[in-house]
Amino acid sequence: MPRKKKTDEDGENIPASSSATIQLQTMSKTPQLVKGMKDILPVDQELWGHIRDTATKIATQYGFGRIDTPIVESTTLFTHSVGKQTDIVEKEMYTFEDQGGDNLTLRPEFTAGIARAYIEHGMLNMPQPIKVFTIGPLFRHEKPQADRYRQHHQFDCEVIGEANPAVDAQLILMAFKLYKTLSLPVILHINSIGCLSCRGTYREVLAEYYRTKRSQICEDCKRRLLKNPLRLLDCKEEQCQPIKAGAPQIIDYLCEECKSHFEKVLEFLDVLEIPYSLNSHLVRGFDYYTRTVFEFYLLQNDEDTPSLALGGGGRYDNLVEVLGGRPTPGCGFGLGIERIVNRLKQVLHDGGEIALPPHAPVDMFLAQLGEQAKRQAMVLFEDLVTEGFAVAEGFVKDSLKAQLELANKLNVRFTLILGQKELLDGTIIIRNMEGGEQEVVDIKKIIPILKKKIESVSEDSYLNL
Ligand SMILES: [Zn+2]
Ligand SMILES: [Zn+2]
């Protein structure tokens, strides 16, 4: 029966050929990566994985459990903890109203969200302190520049529920250990910003000092002077630097308890042989910090080269209470992963070496010849992968030569070859890539045979060590 001519719903004849084809809506300009953002490409994943694995291993060794809090939190969590008059809250947060009208923010730091989780899940009732770590992205709308991304990642550790200075020292030791394990020489900058009572005294002294220099400071500082004088020490404007350098130092105004806490932290650092430099202007850009604050800098031969902190942290003995929980001390740090990655890349670029863990080797390559054999090989591939073998394949290639070339490049020990003849015989070829010798085996027995071969290979390499 001859086919009817195609018609559309109105019964009109559709003109022959391609009128029913959907037209692609192509963009005239390819969308670009959002400013300040970064793709982490497959080529960099090994380095990233190495850093994440090392960090996770250290955290686990020190008794930290992993926590993952959401990227999105309510905006008030950060305005109340980080502080309204901080650069982060004033200028750098990704804040938006969602479809339901809730005011939300992409987390600019980890500590506030973790403190929220501590309160919300009643962790106060568990044995104290709570020791948690996390690794993930943070968002700050900063001016993009080398080493500074608007989405960046941190390795973060927090100890909540313990005020002892040993905690501060042990956290610093862990961060130090990570850098050391990654062969990055760092120096610790450390300061104490006191507690609510002694900081109050210092704030008045500092404000008094700045009031006498009011005509020489930048507009931001004039505002800071009125609203949040401690932030004066955050100023990076050129004109304010000499004034900052002459400012009274908080260390001279610490109360007895804060002074003793700080001395104990430093004593621990001395015993642990962690190199540090006292930095009286270090206040960190968050309002929730109390007492110990610290940052890590790359130890460079050229002392004058200004560098960004690789990471930092501090104590926050009022944070949980500020967020509505019971008074609970805490201390933690966050280390920027991009900054570590970029430093390590620089080491590689300069011809240095980084001890990356050995590649998990690909056990074998599965080659096929002919359409039928290809279908059967796909089934076999699934069986091999399910058995736990690491298998490479060349399903998109038809020529055996091209597949063997690929197998050579991957440096596999064995190549399995399934051709038309083998398919008919129910066999498969195992080719030893080192010597080139081949054996034909029953395809039904291939898995136990391969297991035996791979086992003997790993024994060999064990003996070679
Ligand atoms: Zn104090
Ligand atoms: Zn200023």
- What is the domain count for the chain? 2
Considering the domain architecture, whether residues 49 and 180 belong to the same structural domain is answered as yes
Range(s) of the domain holding residue 445? 364-450
Considering the domain architecture, whether residues 277 and 371 belong to the same structural domain is answered as no
Q: Which residues surround ligand 1, an ion (CB under 5 A)?
A: 194-195, 198, 255, 258
Considering the domain architecture, whether residues 417 and 283 belong to the same structural domain is answered as no
Query: Measured between alpha carbons, how far is 384 from 388 in angstroms, rounded to an integer?
Result: 7
Considering the domain architecture, whether residues 85 and 171 belong to the same structural domain is answered as yes
Collapsing DSSP states into helix, strand and coil, what is residue 153? strand
Distance (angstroms) between ligand 2 centre and the Cα of 258 equals 28
Exposed/middle/buried for residue 342 (C-beta within 10 Å: 0-12, 13-18, 19+): middle
Considering the domain architecture, whether residues 143 and 55 belong to the same structural domain is answered as yes
Confidence (pLDDT) at 306: 56
Distance (angstroms) between ligand 1 centre and the Cα of 291 equals 7
Query: Over its length of 465 residues, how does the chain's per-residue pLDDT go in tens digits?
Result: 445 544 444 445 555 555 788 999 999 999 999 999 999 999 999 999 999 999 999 999 999 999 999 999 999 999 999 998 888 998 999 999 999 999 999 999 999 999 999 999 999 999 999 999 999 999 999 988 888 899 999 999 999 999 999 999 999 999 999 999 999 999 999 999 999 999 999 999 999 999 999 999 999 999 999 988 988 988 888 999 999 999 999 999 999 999 999 999 999 999 999 999 999 889 888 889 999 999 999 987 655 555 789 999 999 999 999 999 999 999 999 999 999 999 999 888 888 888 777 776 788 999 999 999 999 999 999 999 999 999 999 999 999 999 999 999 988 989 999 999 999 999 999 999 988 899 999 999 999 999 998 887 655 544 443
Which one-letter DSSP state was computed for residue 334?
E
Q: Specify the CATH number for the domain of residue 435.
A: 3.40.50.800
Distance (angstroms) between ligand 1 centre and the Cα of 254 equals 5
Contact 271, 174 (CB under 8 A): no
Q: 293 φ, ψ to 5°?
A: -130, 145
Considering the domain architecture, whether residues 142 and 276 belong to the same structural domain is answered as yes
Which ligand gives the minimal distance to the CA of 223?
A: 2
Which ligand gives the minimal distance to the CA of 257?
A: 1
Considering the domain architecture, whether residues 162 and 278 belong to the same structural domain is answered as yes
pTM for the whole structure: 0.85
Distance (angstroms) between ligand 1 centre and the Cα of 327 equals 16
Confidence (pLDDT) at 86: 86
Is residue 216 situated within a structural domain? no
Is residue 30 situated within a structural domain? no
Which ligand gives the minimal distance to the CA of 234?
A: 2
Exposed/middle/buried for residue 14 (C-beta within 10 Å: 0-12, 13-18, 19+): exposed
